[in-house]
Structure 1
C-alpha cells in the first residue's frame, strides 16, 4: 500500500485521483469506481446535495492508449470514502488526507 496521497490543484481546490486513493487503500480501482458511483446515486436523491461537491467525473489514458473513467475526490469525497473504511487502511488513508 502506498502511504502518500498525491493531490491535484484545480481551480484553487485540492483533489485526489481515485486511482491514487485505490492504490493507497489497497482496493481495486474498478471496485472503488463502483463504490463511488453508488455514493453519487445516493447523493442525487437529495436535492440539497451536489455530487460534484464530493466527486468530479474524469478520465485518464491507460497504458494501451485507451480512455478510462476515474474520479477526482474533493475533501468531502475523501471523507466519505474514509468514513466507510475500517481497520488499518481506513485509519492510514484518513490520517494522510487530513494531513
Structure 2
C-alpha cells in the first residue's frame, strides 16, 4: 500500500489545492458546530425567559393581593397562581 503524498507537507499542500480543501473542511466543521450549539443556546434562552415570566406572574399575583387587601382563602389564590402559570406555559409554546 503506497501513499499518494510523499510527506506531511505534501499532504497539507495537496498539490496547490490545500488552501481550498482545508478551508472547505474548516467551514464545514464550523457549520456542524453551529448546528449542534445553536439549539442548546436557544433552549437556554427559552428556559430563562419562561422562568422570568413565571416570576413576574407570581409577583403580580402577590402585588394584586396586597394592594386589593383581599381576604381570599388559600384555594382561590392557588387557583389564580396556577392559571397564571398555565398562561405563561401556553405563551412559551
Task: Provide TM-score, normalisation by structure 2.
Answer: 0.26
Q: Max radius of gyration: which structure?
A: 2
Q: Which has the higher strand share?
A: 1
Q: Which has the higher helix share?
A: 2
Task: Provide TM-score, normalisation by structure 1.
Answer: 0.25
